[in-house]
Amino acid sequence: MQNELTPGQLGRELRSGSSRFLKRRRNIVGLAFFSSAVLGGIALYQIGIVKKLPGPRWCGFDAEKVNGSTQAYSILAVPDALLGLTSYAATACLAGMGPENRWRTHPLIPIGMGVKLIADVALAGKLTVDSCRKYRSVSVWSLLAGAATFAALGLAIPETKAALRYMTGGDHGQ
């Protein structure tokens, strides 16, 4: 690993750096936290702390039907919102990890973040399609978390592409 920073230097760089990739990474962390807040509310419902999930009363929207479905409890005998919280924590860590120019110094980190977000978007899409097909309803809360995930992927793509180009001997500039 080239150009290793001390923890103090890394902290200062992450807090005050201004590269376009670092700005995007900060937004990815913000979107992961937003999604975590949304899933936190769903998890409170799924575990029984909150008895009712609010949502619009429009045709096709039923947060309780979707988030209380059997599918929501089918993986590892854990409410899926709790698994989602873990996933968004990993996304935030990947976005916050490494120095400002990590696409050059640690290219596997932004590539890993991009791959993880692609998987997250695919899962969010699959779950949305499943809820439409199986339950004829969607959860506004799940849609909000999914939309934030799609936005995060859009923010991650440029750095991921730069890291891939760098690793394959292509473009060496930002």
- In a 10 Å sphere around its CB, with 0-12 CB exposed, 13-18 middle and 19+ buried, how is residue 161 labelled? middle
CA distance 111 to 82: 25
Residue where the block lists tokens 């692609």: 118
Per-residue CA distances from 35 to 6, 12, 87, 147, 164 (Å):
31, 27, 10, 9, 27
| Residue 114: how many other CB atoms lie within 10 Å | 20
pLDDT in tens, 103-124: 999 999 999 999 999 999 999 9
Spell out the domains of the chain, with CATH numbers in brackets: 19-167 (1.20.1440.130)
Residue where the block lists tokens 């930002």: 174
pLDDT in tens, 26-76: 999 999 999 999 999 999 999 999 999 998 888 899 999 999 999 999 999
pLDDT in tens, 152-168: 999 999 999 999 999 99
CB 12 within 8 A of CB 140: no
